[in-house]
Structure 1
Amino acid sequence: MSDPSTPPPGGRLDREAATRSTTFIIAALVLAECVSAFEAGMIFIALPRFGDIFDAPASTTGWAVTAFMLVAATTALVGGRLGDLYGRKKILIIAMMVSTLGSAVSVFGDSMGAIIAGRGIQGAAGAILPLCYGLAREALPPGKVSLAVGYISGAALLAGSGGYFVAGVLLDVADWHMIFVFAAVLAIVASVVAALALPSTHTRGELPRFDYLGAALLTPGLVALLYGITQGSAWGWTSFRVLGLIIGGLAILSVWTVWELRVAEPLVNLRALGTKRMTLNLIGVAVLALGPIGAVQIITPMILQAPTSLPIGLGMSATVAGLIGGIGAIVGFAVSPIAGVVAGRWGGRTAFFIGAALFAVANLMILVGHKSLPVMIAVFVVAAVATAFAYTGYPKIVIESVPEDVTSVTTGVLATARQAFSAISVAIVSVMISLWTVPETTMPTAASLNLAVGWFVLCSLIVAVICLFIGRPQPARDVDAPATGDEDDADLSGARV
């Protein structure tokens, strides 16, 4: 008779194989998100170089940022929906290969126009993050999903900051072409790893029709709205062009909303966002984007690099500023598994709350210590940890709240909202820091800085309060079963697309 305490033959090997498979899946998802985050962050340091090489004004070179942002905001939703319908692994690899094509267009076009066109094609990478969240939920054991979300969110932070640093090094040791070559190689490697490491994802037995009209309405609506917002400071907020774009975009999105609520198989099932938890989660993401995660890239580089003779400057070089940002990103990535554990054990709202609270702490530190380099280094570290928790918390709330088969498109909604409200935040903060400037300069005074950072603190505290009302996640149940209890456990049967 065998000893009952002895594991069955192959049991230990099966567990090791499962652990190894989980590790490879998470690594593949992290690498895929590195493609998206790197491509989003790599371009900023190259803009001045583009202006010199192609004799182009900032209004032209800035399109290398705008083109990517406009396309990424749309593909986050459309790509997420395609992945939910036809298989997330397949759409993920397609998105990365399309972004590779965008890099090739920029390299071989060898002009500012080609770079802008290539950056628009690279915007397909906007679909990667929602697809990665959906793949984590689909391909991993339930107990590992939160950990994977934490790592994916940490990768977004690390690769975003790394993109700035790597691009700077490549500009110094080679030329601008190598930035796009690096992005293309990274995307190809990530595609190969995804093809080998990720399991084949399922598609529905009876596929619904893709909502072509919904996609056709969403794309121009989002593009018009976001473009109007991004051009507000340059063209004037009361100009006919800005008002026309914003009002026109909102009108188109209003028609899109009515269509999505009426069509049987919508691009985005807005009713999935109608529960208390999802509504508050969406509001929380929007408010946080209006505050610290939307416009911090305006404030912190200014503090680090402005001359010490000015009220807010530390006189650091761009390289030192990049290294400080890199230190924070490394710490944030290291903490991301802890954020995942917290989200898994106590729910996404707890991780989101911690992130919001830490954002408030980081900005309070700026208010009292922006003239101290050690304090500013600590600010970057705390803000990076805050980002890791917040970016783990809000997608985990989605995973807790909607059916598995709409995970990617729903997280895509939040990613798009974050993008839109970040653009609004840049406009708001730009006005704040220009209210009071140092005479004969365009640099803000301490009063302008305090106003902007105070805005960040206020938004962070509002999000922390919102998290308290999101409610705890409900015990897992069949999403087709009727819900019981209060609004937190609202019937999700209408959220199934």
Structure 2
Amino acid sequence: MCAALVSAAVVTLGGPLVPQVQQSFGVGTEASQWSYTITLLVGATLTPLLGRLADGRRRRPAMIVVCALVTLGCAVSALGTRYGVFLTGRAFQGVAVALVAMTIACARDLFTGPATARLIALLSITTALGVGAAYPLTTFVADHLGLRAAYGGAALLSLLVTLAVAGGLPAVAARDGDPRLDVPGAVVLIAATACALLAISQGNAWGWTSAGVAALAAAAAVLLLAWIRLELRVPHPLVELRLFARRDVLAAHLTGLLMGVSLYNTPVLITRIGLAPRDTSYGVGLGLSAIGVVMAPIAVCNYLSSRGATALARARGRRIALAAGGVVGALGPLMLIGVDGHLSLLLASVVLTSCGAGATFGTLPGLIVDAVEPGETGSATSVNILLRAVGGAVGSAATAALVGAAAGPGGQTTSTGLAWAALACAGTCVASVVVSGCVPSRRRRTASHAVAVEPVPLPRTD
């Protein structure tokens, strides 16, 4: 739980600090957004490989190395005096994205019975819980002590978690069913994902019809097709693509991709709008510490909405629970259109966005866990985490592109650009509602996947 929470806090650390990064390093809007995008890009490319490592005896050393790299990345960002060095640190921090999938594999392997379903549901929403816990503290430290202090504190916290994982996570005994690592598949998938995300990220800067963007997009398509062909032929694939033939698994992955756009990027829009002066026609005029207070309900709303979604799934089915999460999540970014200085609308956006994310991501793991064998849990859930991060990276790049395309004189952010970005986040949530219709209305009970046959509510805090 500590590893998953810290990973979420570190990954989303760049969100509320994007405006301060822009001011501290003297870079433009799109360049400063890269301090957030690059972490998601690295996380998206490496998560499948690290998730596969979590399915066997390599789990413990892999998690220790990942936590150590996160610590190193935070230290580099804290000490870097140039923007390039700062970005390098943020890139190292991206490996933290994989920790959620790795901890879910631990829960599936080390626990049995109802405790497994409870813990997996809780681990699945740690991304949002980490955001809610980290935002107030991060913004307060950055506001009063500066950007370096915020990342220095994250480095210290990550170091403590690294020591805790090294001392507390049990080793996994070797077994006949341990999956072999598909190195060629990992390399090809990393290359394909990197090309695709770079094409989207640089589209606004290079031009969407430029030769560079076209070449990256073509390379991503060719590499992806080659990877699919490779994964269908190797005996121990990095990702078991045949599982995508199941409607519940396919729906879970598409929903993760679509909802990831809003999960990672609506808070960035809230921060920009909240920090903007009132004379901008859209700003609320808050300080950075006040933004952290506004974000504080995220953790509570995610936790409560996850419990509510579990109860709804038990009563009406997971299809209804996923659809409800998408509808509520779409209302969040829509609240940002026409804020015009109203703090109440900003708070409403925070509550609705976090409730939608909690309901959705609290429901998804059960769809996946029911469909796969225990030895495939890390790999399968890592694909879902990968797609969330891909959605976040695509959304981050699209947000920067939309805001930049509608920039005013001197590159100033305008209400039009923010409205376009908010509509994009809301649109992906609506699309996830459509995808939820692919989920079977009634769950099939199977003996081999009995770990999460009955939805179980999250544990009581008392």
TM-score by length of 2: 0.84
Q: What residue is the counterpart of 1:391 in the other structure?
A: 361
- 1:429 shift after superposition: 4.8
Over 3 Å counting, the alpha-carbon distance change for 1:439 and 1:200 in structure 2 is closer
Q: 1:120 aligned to 85, 91, 100, which one?
A: 91
Q: What residue is the counterpart of 2:447 in the other structure?
A: 477
Q: What residue is the counterpart of 1:484 in the other structure?
A: none
- One-letter amino acid of the structure 2 residue matched with residue 387 of structure 1: A
Q: What residue is the counterpart of 2:126 in the other structure?
A: 155
Q: 2:211 aligned to 234, 240, 258, which one?
A: 240
Pair 1:284 & 2:235 matched: no
- Residue pairs, 1:280-429, within 5 angstroms: 280-290=251-261, 292-293=262-263, 295-340=265-310, 348-366=318-336, 372-429=342-399
Q: Deviations over 1:453-495 (max 9, x none)?
A: 4444443333223223301321132269xxxxxxxxxxxxxxx
Cα distance in 2 for residues equivalent to 1:313 and 1:52: 17
- One-letter amino acid of the structure 1 residue matched with residue 357 of structure 2: T
Asked if 1 retains the 8 angstrom alpha-carbon contact of 2:73 and 2:92, the reply is yes
Greater mean deviation of Cα atoms: 294-303 or 467-476: 294-303
Cα distance in 2 for residues equivalent to 1:308 and 1:59: 23
Cα distance in 1 for residues equivalent to 2:160 and 2:311: 29
Cα distance in 2 for residues equivalent to 1:32 and 1:312: 37
- 1:271 shift after superposition: 0.9
Pair 1:249 & 2:220 matched: yes
Asked if 2 retains the 8 angstrom alpha-carbon contact of 1:348 and 1:395, the reply is no
Q: 2:44 aligned to 55, 70, 73, which one?
A: 73
Cα distance in 2 for residues equivalent to 1:107 and 1:361: 36
Pair 1:215 & 2:176 matched: no
Q: 1:461 aligned to 430, 437, 458, which one?
A: 430
Q: Deviations over 1:174-200 (max 9, x none)?
A: 444433332232223323444555554
Cα distance in 2 for residues equivalent to 1:51 and 1:103: 18
Matched position secondary structure for 2:386: helix
Asked if 1 retains the 8 angstrom alpha-carbon contact of 2:41 and 2:390, the reply is no
Over 3 Å counting, the alpha-carbon distance change for 1:344 and 1:130 in structure 2 is farther
Q: 1:135 aligned to 106, 126, 145, which one?
A: 106
Q: Deviations over 1:252-309 (max 9, x none)?
A: 122111111111111111112221211222222233345x335424532344333434
Cα distance in 2 for residues equivalent to 1:258 and 1:458: 32
Over 3 Å counting, the alpha-carbon distance change for 1:304 and 1:121 in structure 2 is closer
Q: Deviations over 1:327-374 (max 9, x none)?
A: 333432454444455557766544423311211343454558765322
Cα distance in 1 for residues equivalent to 2:426 and 2:32: 32
Matched position secondary structure for 1:478: helix
Greater mean deviation of Cα atoms: 49-58 or 159-168: 49-58
- 1:212 shift after superposition: 1.2
Asked if 2 retains the 8 angstrom alpha-carbon contact of 1:153 and 1:336, the reply is no
- 1:406 shift after superposition: 1.2
- Residue pairs, 1:2-17, within 5 angstroms: none
Q: Which has the higher contact order (CA 8 A, sep 6+)?
A: 2
Over 3 Å counting, the alpha-carbon distance change for 1:187 and 1:343 in structure 2 is farther
Q: Deviations over 1:371-428 (max 9, x none)?
A: 5322331221122121111121222211122222111111211222222233333454
Asked if 2 retains the 8 angstrom alpha-carbon contact of 1:347 and 1:396, the reply is no
Over 3 Å counting, the alpha-carbon distance change for 1:427 and 1:52 in structure 2 is closer
Q: Deviations over 1:197-250 (max 9, x none)?
A: 555445432544321111121222211211221111222211222222222122
TM-score by length of 1: 0.79
Cα distance in 2 for residues equivalent to 1:353 and 1:274: 21
Q: What residue is the counterpart of 1:483 in the other structure?
A: none
Q: 1:186 aligned to 134, 153, 157, which one?
A: 157
Pair 1:37 & 2:8 matched: yes
Over 3 Å counting, the alpha-carbon distance change for 1:404 and 1:473 in structure 2 is farther
Matched position secondary structure for 2:278: coil
Matched position secondary structure for 1:136: helix
Q: Deviations over 1:425-452 (max 9, x none)?
A: 3454556556767789844446x66555
Matched position secondary structure for 1:231: helix
Q: What residue is the counterpart of 1:273 in the other structure?
A: 244
Asked if 2 retains the 8 angstrom alpha-carbon contact of 1:88 and 1:201, the reply is yes
Over 3 Å counting, the alpha-carbon distance change for 1:186 and 1:346 in structure 2 is farther
Asked if 1 retains the 8 angstrom alpha-carbon contact of 2:12 and 2:264, the reply is no
Over 3 Å counting, the alpha-carbon distance change for 1:89 and 1:473 in structure 2 is farther
- 1:325 shift after superposition: 1.3
Asked if 1 retains the 8 angstrom alpha-carbon contact of 2:77 and 2:151, the reply is yes
Asked if 2 retains the 8 angstrom alpha-carbon contact of 1:343 and 1:396, the reply is no
- One-letter amino acid of the structure 1 residue matched with residue 139 of structure 2: G
Over 3 Å counting, the alpha-carbon distance change for 1:181 and 1:434 in structure 2 is closer
Over 3 Å counting, the alpha-carbon distance change for 1:463 and 1:133 in structure 2 is same
Asked if 1 retains the 8 angstrom alpha-carbon contact of 2:6 and 2:158, the reply is yes
- One-letter amino acid of the structure 2 residue matched with residue 477 of structure 1: A
Asked if 2 retains the 8 angstrom alpha-carbon contact of 1:147 and 1:344, the reply is no
Asked if 1 retains the 8 angstrom alpha-carbon contact of 2:294 and 2:347, the reply is yes
- One-letter amino acid of the structure 2 residue matched with residue 421 of structure 1: G
Q: Deviations over 1:99-146 (max 9, x none)?
A: 223334445665544333333222221220111222222222331233
Asked if 2 retains the 8 angstrom alpha-carbon contact of 1:359 and 1:460, the reply is yes
Asked if 2 retains the 8 angstrom alpha-carbon contact of 1:329 and 1:381, the reply is no
Cα distance in 1 for residues equivalent to 2:201 and 2:189: 18
- Radius of gyration: which is bigger? 1
Cα distance in 2 for residues equivalent to 1:64 and 1:452: 18
Over 3 Å counting, the alpha-carbon distance change for 1:118 and 1:286 in structure 2 is closer
